């Protein structure tokens, strides 16, 4: 069987494009359809800008107000503010750390319950997974407003808000990681007569530890 090799260098392609331009062009109907869709898209974009009263001049003039915003970030007093800022910064970091820690502690057991290969009950699995969707579907700021009305204004409400919001995210992550573990290792541990807790400890947990 003979195989013919055709020289398709850039110069040859350019010559073919020059001598046979029709071979390198789309059909007229297809080109018109593309231009029509491009025009419709451009019209929608321009209509959206017009409806929201978009103006480049207003954006340019608004840049000058950013300096005022940065000035208002700092209190007018010239003494004592550094300690206040440092305390508030440490308090914020502590809230984020404690909220994430509580979320991890709660998400690990809930992640096992939300995995199909651990909880075979479809109703329970559905309830756990939809609970994850509910918790992560509500923003942490909304959770903060809810817990402020429950425990009062303070860092504790922020910790609970971060924890509830992160439980939905981490629980879904852990549940999907548990569902993707290798079945052979789990079956090997189970074949030794290990109970459910031992199967989780020695068959599933070592595989999902990198995710945790």
Query: What tens digit of pLDDT does each residue of 3-20 get?
Result: 555 556 667 766 766 666
For residues 1 and 101, give the distance between their C-alpha atoms in angstroms, rounded to a whole number.
69
For residues 178 and 64, give the distance between their C-alpha atoms in angstroms, rounded to a whole number.
52
In this predicted structure, the answer to whether residue 39 has a pLDDT above a threshold of 80 is yes
In this predicted structure, the answer to whether residue 35 has a pLDDT above a threshold of 70 is yes
Choose the weakest-confidence range: 48-57, 73-82, 105-114, 161-170.
73-82
The residue that leads in pLDDT, 101 or 56, is 101
Choose the weakest-confidence range: 73-77, 119-123, 178-182, 188-192.
73-77
Angle at 17 between CA 12 and CA 19, to 5 degrees: 95
pTM as predicted: 0.57
For residues 207 and 178, give the distance between their C-alpha atoms in angstroms, rounded to a whole number.
8
pLDDT band at 97 (very low <50, low <70, confident <90, very high): very high
In this predicted structure, the answer to whether residue 77 has a pLDDT above a threshold of 80 is no
Listed by start position, the domains of the chain span: 7-73, 89-180
Q: What is the pLDDT of residue 119?
A: 72
SS3 at position 64 = coil
The residue that leads in pLDDT, 145 or 210, is 145
In this predicted structure, the answer to whether residue 155 has a pLDDT above a threshold of 80 is yes
Give the residue-averaged pLDDT of 136-163.
87
SS3 at position 40 = helix
């Amino acid at each position: 069987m003979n195989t013919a090799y055709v020289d398709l260098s850039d110069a040859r392609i350019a010559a073919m494009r020059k001598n046979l331009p029709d071979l390198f062009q789309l059909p007229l109907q297809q080109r018109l359809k593309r231009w029509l869709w491009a025009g419709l898209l451009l019209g929608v974009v321009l209509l959206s800008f017009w409806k929201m009263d978009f103006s480049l001049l207003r954006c340019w003039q608004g840049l000058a107000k950013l300096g005022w915003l940065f000035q208002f970030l700092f209190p007018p007093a010239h003494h004592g503010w550094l300690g206040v800022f440092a305390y508030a910064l440490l308090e914020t970091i502590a809230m984020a750390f404690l909220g994430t820690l509580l979320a991890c502690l709660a998400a690990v057991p809930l992640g096992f319950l939300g995995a199909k290969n651990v909880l075979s009950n479809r109703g329970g699995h559905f309830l756990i997974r939809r609970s994850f969707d509910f918790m992560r579907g509500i923003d942490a700021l909304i959770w903060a407003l809810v817990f402020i009305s429950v425990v009062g204004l303070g860092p504790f409400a922020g910790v609970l808000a971060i924890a509830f919001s992160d439980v939905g995210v981490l629980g879904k992550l852990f549940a999907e990681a548990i569902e993707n573990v290798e079945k052979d290792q789990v079956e090997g541990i189970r074949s030794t007569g290990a109970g459910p807790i031992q199967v989780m400890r020695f068959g599933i947990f070592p595989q999902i530890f990198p995710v945790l």
